[in-house]
Amino acid sequence: MFRKLMLLGVCVAPFLFSAQEAGSAPQPKVAVIPSVGYAWRLAKTPSGITNETKNYIKGLKSGVDVSIGAYYLLNGNGAIGLKYSGYFASSDGRLTVAGPNGQNVSGFVSTKDNISFIGASYMFSNFKEDTKHKLFYDISLGVITYTTKTGTVKGTGSNVGAEINFGYQYALTNQIFIGPKIGMTGGTLSKMKYNGTTVNFGEEEREGLTRLSLSAAATFRF
């Protein structure tokens, strides 16, 4: 699904923007785009678990999403740069698990999750056009990293990741735009380290990191 959305974005983006030439006035060459919003992880919740566990996992499947991209504006409507995004979620609750002697053990646990992405990015926009209504999309490829901590147990893992965003902004000035942005960040882990010990996941046990985000974004041009 994520790959299809990226391919669709690449194919249709050239038709979303005007091909008019920019005016003779000097144009800013750098754009910095920070954003903050909310995101939802799209991995399925495991079946056959208790309601307590479901509620606990639900708390980790949505959280704060932040990002920042810095771009050098090329001639025309393209730009290249670097992109960072981060996802932060936490959950508290009482979980029940089977102990080594077969008896159920219940206890209060607290987990903090962080998913970070950093990579090279390409952006296509109509920032140079003489209009108050700005559109852009960006595609990034890089490294996605997952960190989860429950009590004294810390798990980490990383892999190749990708991100795509579409945004609409209104130009307050020639240098400052604001508006909503929708994005998707994708990646999967086949192994993680827990307190230094590597655990390999089976095909059906892989950690899905894909998330959908909705944010408020601002563009500052220099």
Rounded to 5°, angle at Cα 40 from 106 and 11: 150
Q: What is residue 15's three-state secondary structure? A: helix
Average pLDDT, the chain: 89
pLDDT at 1 over 90: no
Q: If pLDDT is split at 50, 70 and 90, which confidence band does 156 have? A: very high
The rounded percent of the chain whose pLDDT value lies above 90 is: 72
pLDDT at 89 over 60: yes
Give the pLDDT mean for 81-95.
94
The token duo for 37 is: 């919003």
If one compares 18 and 126, the residue with the highest pLDDT of the two is: 126
pLDDT for 111? 96
pLDDT for 67? 98
pTM for this model (two decimals): 0.85
User: How far is the C-alpha of 40 from the C-alpha of 51, rounded, in Å?
Assistant: 20
If one compares 90 and 94, the residue with the highest pLDDT of the two is: 90
Please write the tens of the pLDDT for every residue from 186-202: 999 999 999 999 999 99
Of the spans 8-12, 21-25, 162-166, which averages the highest pLDDT? 162-166
pLDDT for 22? 42
Give the pLDDT mean for 149-157.
95
pLDDT at 117 over 60: yes
Kindly list the distances between the CA atom of residue 116 and the CA atoms of 27, 85, 144, in Å, as whole numbers in the listed order.
Answer: 32, 6, 6
pLDDT at 25 over 90: no
Give 44's DSSP letter: P
User: How far is the C-alpha of 193 from the C-alpha of 209, rounded, in Å?
Assistant: 16
pLDDT for 138? 98
pLDDT for 19? 42
Q: If pLDDT is split at 50, 70 and 90, which confidence band does 95 have? A: confident
